[in-house]
Chains A and B, each alone.
Chain A
Amino acid sequence: MEKKKLLVLFSVFLTALILMTAGCIGQDSAKAGTLAEETLAENTADGSLNADVVYLIGGDYGYPQPFTIYPRGPGSSKVGMIFDSLVERDEIGIIPWLAESWEVSPDGTEYTFKLREGIVWSDGAPFTAGDVKFTFDYEQKNVPVSGGIESGVVDNVQVVDSGTVKFVLSQPVSTFLYKLTGFKIIPEHIYENVPDPVSFLDPQAVTGTGPFLLDEYNKEHGTYRFVTNDNFWGPDTAVKSVEFVPVSDSLIAFEQGEIDFTGISPDILDRFTSDPDVRVVQQPAFWGYQFYFNMKKCPELNDKRIRQAFAYAIDRDELVEKIARGAGKAGKMGILSEDHIWYNPDQPEYGYNPDKAGALLDEAGWIDTDGDGIRDKDGEKLSYVLSLGSGEVRIGELIKERLSEAGIDVQVKALESKSRDANLKNGDFELLISGFGGWGKDADYLRTRYCDTDSQSGMSVSSGAAVFGYHNDTLDALGARELQESDDGKRMEIVYNMQTVLADDVPAIPLYYTTNYDAWRISKYDGWMNMYDHHARTHSILSYLERDGIAEKR
């Protein structure tokens, strides 16, 4: 009797739960459809351009000096609040920062920087060319977590006089100036006595020339408070202090006024678009998912017709609509996203077209001879294992469905993130999906990812062409030229050509780039801006400064 009652009660509870969740899902997908078409109405109100305090999402990302931040999360942007680089990035390009001006020798191997006068470290000591040389030499022995310059690029650094410093490169490297934007200068008078910067957690370690001082950092609670550095050489801070506080749910924290800036999901956009005090803006498409082919392990994938067939068969617009809820842009086979400054709009396009995919596979000799729905050739089936992280299962399932319509069989294998990364690095996969940022960075990444030449510099990507067995002579030649070309206009032309080659060859498929929504309260602070190459507004140091004088000068 008692058992029966319990059973009834439990089933009622279960049914209620199922109905509740089913209701949620139905609602969500119904909304997503309409959202994709809806364009965001712009909030035209004027906001506040300065603030005493701005509250942002916290979390522990390490002590903000170049050697102690964590490799995951926005640690390097916190370093950027304290430390300066010779050149900085604004919405359009590279701007002078610690360096006022620079000259490049005609052969492109010598960069001479004239440093700004009167700059002091936050402890009052003067900043000189010696600090720049010291930073480079020091980081040859002690590699920073981010922003270091790979060995082989710079041969040596010379102090010309206290206000002039010269970098001598081993060979012309077109991206050298770009690399310098992340190269944060550390004080010689402090770090010269530090043999192991990884364990250097003293207050002295965060002595910089930048606009902010670290007032308080609490590792266990994940809080940071930055306050204005009165010794800063540059423009005034528009935000006098920045506090990073822990939140459990950023949306609730934003609604309750605990933080002033958050990312919001497309499903709840309308809750904010009608609020006159909230500005909602999409991020540029600089974060994306890439679909890899392992041509080493599966030799038939060396036939570019098969790879093109994948590009036609995978419905990338569907992924944007169903997975990203409209907050994304479909992947381009030229790799660079539409928002990249050097995106080539004139490249081979691959709209969703199962017929074309089928025709290409037929042409390549893959035909379903036994009627099981899977194409085969010489007794081998067109069947693959698709490895991905547990967060990408839904992407994998949609792709599996579309590919099966084209006669390609795919089994989705979800792995823990690090295992997937290990497989990618060791080339131990057939097909694989991985998501990462940095798609807005200098287009030189087309070379480091898809050229398999053993160039002396920039051997940075352990998941590059050499791993998945891609080789293209034309692309390698273009990449070599791109690396050496010091004229931006000419280099852009080469990058355009590289995109055309890549789009024709499809060595990998960018599935989609995310364009998440940022929301902030304009009455609190409205000075947020994007760097031209990065998706997160809160990561730009210029977001916290007055936009006149130096920060405006190009």
Chain B
Amino acid sequence: MVKDRNSFIFRLSLTLFVILAINFFLPRMMPGDPFSTTSADEAGEEIIVMTEEQRLYYINYYGLDRPLHEQFLVYIKNLMTGDLGRSIYYKMPVSDVIMLHLPWTMLIVVGATVISTISGVVLGTLSAMNRKKGSDKIMMTGMIAFAEIPSFLLGLILLLIFSVHLRLFPLAGAITPFANYTGPAEQAWDILYHAFLPVVTLSLAQLTDVYLLTRNTLITVTTKDYIRTARAKGLGEKTVWTRHALRNALLPVVTRTGFMIGIMMGGVVLVESVFSYPGIGMTLRSAVVGRDYPLIQGILLVIAVSILICNLLVDKIYGKLDPRVVI
């Protein structure tokens, strides 16, 4: 047992080290540096073109002129003390930048994960229970066609319908600008009100996968012997579906939900940009565009760690759902 634990910790540290090294070296291998911008991205955009003198000053200021291995050692050493470094673009500690933006992304990602998983499972179960009937076919075709719509397009459509035409939801942002809240309830309401469309967009984009997975696994499971046994025992249809079929079918769904965080990080960038939502996805994008090495490292590290944690959680839940699994 102790040996197992040691090897687990060893594997985990090795994984982390590899992640750290990739996070550190990959951004630095991209062409350009944080200070040599000479072109704007779109017509009319303002950029400040630095003089060569300014550029060298800043490269020296951020220690980017030191040998790469030396910078890496400094990075690892600082990391040990919990220091993620300073963002070059935002001119503030990387941990502060992440703390400002990560909660917003967490809010919509977690919200979307919960909503899409629950509704995906419910719809998938309904579909499986009505297999071979018309309602299943209609639902399935609709869901598959729906899955073909890219999330940003979906977001735009929702924005046009609900914010522009119906004016039910705000056009942009995560809170009302310069709002003076009378209490925490009002603040929470304002945040939920702004998060609604982004969450719905992300959920809808994930829904089909969960739905299909639930439906297909359920259909496979219901052909198994133990379901026949359960039915033979005279258990009610409801008990058979929920306690026997669904419980077994949920295993792959749980795995999938655990991975969803990683998958969603891709989609969340687009959704955040459609709704001008101040999340970490947009920040990562601007960090890559601006070659903000410390910030890229910091955000990728946080994402990698959260995916690792999710995987651990999945393993734990797996153990609960399926007693045969031991970790």
Q: Which residues of A contact B (CB under 8 A)?
A: 2, 5-6, 9-10, 13, 58, 62-63, 67-68, 70-76, 143, 145-146, 148, 150-151, 198-199, 201, 216, 218-223, 225, 243, 245-249, 252-253, 256, 258, 263, 283, 287, 289, 324, 389, 391, 417-425, 434-438, 459-463, 514, 516, 535-536, 539
Contact = CB atoms under 8 A, between A and B. Distances in A.
Given A248-B159, A253-B171, A422-B31, A263 B44 contact: yes
A198 B91 contact: yes
Contacts of B49: 436, 438, 460-462
B15 to A, nearest CB: 29
A249 B45 CA distance: 16
Nearest to A425: B36
Nearest to B96: A219
B50 A5 contact: no
A216 B178 CA distance: 8
B30 A417 contact: no
Given A76-B48, A435-B40, 6 more contacts: A71-B47, A71-B50, A72-B37, A75-B48, A220-B278, A422-B33
Nearest to B275: A248
Interface in B163-177: 163-164, 167, 171-175, 177
Contacts of A419: 30-32
B13 interface: no
Contact of A146 (B33, B48, B61): B48
B131 to A, nearest CB: 12
Interface string B42-78: 1111111111111101100100000000000000000
Contacts of A324: 43
B7 interface: no
Interface in B146-204: 148, 159, 163-164, 167, 171-175, 177-178
B86 interface: yes
A437 B53 contact: no
14 contacts: A72-B37, A72-B45, A73-B47, A143-B57, A198-B61, A201-B92, A219-B92, A221-B278, A248-B275, A256-B167, A324-B43, A424-B38, A424-B39, A462-B55
B53 A151 contact: yes
A422 B144 contact: no
A222 to B, nearest CB: 7
A143 B57 CA distance: 7
B41 interface: yes
| A2, A70, A145, A222 interface centre (most CB from chain B within 10 Å) | A70
A245 B177 contact: yes
Contacts of B104: 220
Given A434-B38, A435-B43, A6 B174 contact: no
Contacts of B44: 263, 283, 287, 437, 514, 516, 535-536
A246 B43 contact: no
B48 A71 contact: yes
Contact of A514 (B43, B175, B274): B43
Interface string B9-47: 000000000000000000000111101111111111111
B90 interface: yes
Interface of B: 30-33, 35-55, 57-58, 61, 86, 89-92, 100-101, 104, 137, 141, 144-145, 148, 159, 163-164, 167, 171-175, 177-178, 274-276, 278, 289-291
Contacts of A243: 177-178
Nearest to B100: A220
Nearest to B47: A72
Contact of A221 (B141, B145, B148, B175): B175
B91 A68 contact: yes
Nearest to A433: B39
A243 B176 CA distance: 13
| A201, A418, A435 interface centre (most CB from chain B within 10 Å) | A418
Contact of B148 (A10, A218, A421, A514): A10
B105 to A, nearest CB: 11
B90 A219 contact: yes
Nearest to A70: B89
Nearest to A324: B43
B41 A220 contact: no
A463 B38 contact: yes
| B41, B43, B104 interface centre (most CB from chain A within 10 Å) | B43
Contact of A6 (B33, B42, B54, B141): B141
A198 B61 CA distance: 10
B104 to A, nearest CB: 7
Nearest to A461: B49
B53 A459 contact: yes
B92 A417 contact: no
Contacts of A536: 44, 46
Contacts of A76: 48
A246 B35 CA distance: 26
B139 to A, nearest CB: 13
A390 B89 CA distance: 22
A522 to B, nearest CB: 22
A248 B172 contact: yes
Given A74-B46, A459-B51, A462-B36, A249 B90 contact: no
A535 B43 CA distance: 12
A547 B203 CA distance: 53
B141 A5 contact: yes
A252 B141 CA distance: 34
Nearest to B290: A72
A513 to B, nearest CB: 10
Contact of A462 (B41, B52, B101, B172): B52
A423 B39 CA distance: 12
Contacts of A422: 31-33, 36
A84 B173 CA distance: 32
Given A70-B90, A223-B177, A145 B145 contact: no
